Amino acid sequence: MTKDQASKLRDLVPDREVFPRVENSLATRRLGITSGKGGVGKSVIAVNLCLLMAKNKHSTLLIDGDVNLSGISILTDSVPKYSFLDVKRGKKLLKDVVHEYAENCSILSTGSGELDLLKSRTEFLDHLRMQFQQLDGTYDYLCIDTPTGISSLVFGELASCDEVAVIVTPDPTSVADAYAVVKIMTYFHPHIPLYLILNCVRSEDEAFETYKKFDLVTQKFLHRQIQNLGSLFYSEDVIESVKQQRPLALWEFETPFLGQLENIMNRWIESAHQGYESIVELNN
């Protein structure tokens, strides 16, 4: 990366100190789910992934990190009574604001649309880091569904994670935004393993071509290979489940989307045993 490129990144996400890493014993694996571009399936994937891990007897916490507009509460038809902000204000203990959504699967809201939160991102991120440290070891897995976009809030949340999954669809604008996320993460947090999940693909060929395109640019310009966790096909069942505000993982019958997501989940779980394949050769 040239000095000019680095300074452009610093302008975009100004304060490197805003998001230091949160050390973790790895008793709880923390996965950030992000994309850059909006509407690509982050929240659908985060909710169903957590529910699938819960079905597999892993205790799981889903953190709704979208302080702008909570997709999670719409997808799960649940309006949390309390949020993370009640802890921040000293009104509640963390354990009292975590809401049990399904067996082994709890949700923590960060307080969607709260104006005072948006006034102070630094304070919010400091508090988030503190809560993450307190939660270490309480759950097997913790997923955070980040807001859309490329901002200090998103990268602050991702810095609190051990690993990050970037969601991308075959749409070229989604590929470009996902690339921007990888570039910024590589600059600020080169040691956080990154994964790719392809969503809304319509064929194996389309999935392969999209991954190839992505892999080509990340290897060429960032000298980095991102592990592909797998693909999720475009599915009318997903659309129906969103309409019904009931995630597919809670449906009585099997759908191909869930089988595909289960493969992705297994690949991610196994990656901890195999060692991460991301190769980083920073070129600052």
Ligand X SMILES: Nc1ncnc2c1ncn2[C@@H]1O[C@H](COP(=O)(O)OP(=O)(O)OP(=O)(O)O)[C@@H](O)[C@H]1O
Q: What residue spans of 70-203 are helical by DSSP H?
A: 71-75, 84-88, 94-97, 115-119, 121-135, 152-159, 172-188
HSE of 184, CA atoms in CB hemisphere, 13 A: 29
From Mg ion, ligand X, none, which one binds at residue 235 (CB under 5 to 8 Å depending on kind)? ligand X
Verify binding: residue 258, ligand X, rule CB under 6 A: no
Tell me the per-residue interface mask from 17 to 36 with ligand X, x by CB under 6 A, - otherwise.
Answer: ------------------x-
From ligand X, Mg ion, none, which one binds at residue 83 (CB under 5 to 8 Å depending on kind)? none
Verify binding: residue 148, ligand X, rule CB under 6 A: yes
From Mg ion, ligand X, none, which one binds at residue 38 (CB under 5 to 8 Å depending on kind)? ligand X
Q: How far apart are CA 176 and CA 142, in angstroms?
A: 27
Name the strands in the sheet holding 60-64, side by side, starting at the edge strand that comes first in the sequence.
99-102, 105-109, 60-64, 141-145, 29-34, 163-168, 194-201, 227-233
Q: Please, are residues 108 and 135 in contact by the beta-carbon 8 Å criterion? A: no
Near ligand X by CB under 6 A, which window of 52-60, 106-114, 223-231, 236-244? 236-244
CB of 273 to ligand X, least distance (A): 28
CB of 236 to Mg ion, least distance (A): 20
Question: Cβ closer to ligand X: 142 or 198?
Answer: 198
Verify binding: residue 44, ligand X, rule CB under 6 A: yes
Q: How far apart are CA 279 and CA 284, in angstroms?
A: 15
Give the Å distances, CA to CA, from 151 to 20, 53, 122, 161, 209.
15, 29, 12, 16, 29
Question: Cβ closer to ligand X: 87 or 261?
Answer: 261
Tell me the per-residue interface mask from 195 to 234 with ligand X, x by CB under 6 A, - otherwise.
Answer: ----xx-------------------------------x-x
Start-to-end Cα distance in the chain: 5
Quick one: tokens of 91? 């009104």
CB of 78 to Mg ion, least distance (A): 15
Quick one: tokens of 66? 């979208």
Contact pick of 7, 23, 27, 39 for ligand X (by CB under 6 A) = 39
Give me the residues that bind ligand X (CB under 6 A), please.
35, 38-44, 66, 71, 148, 199-200, 232, 234-235, 238-239, 242, 257
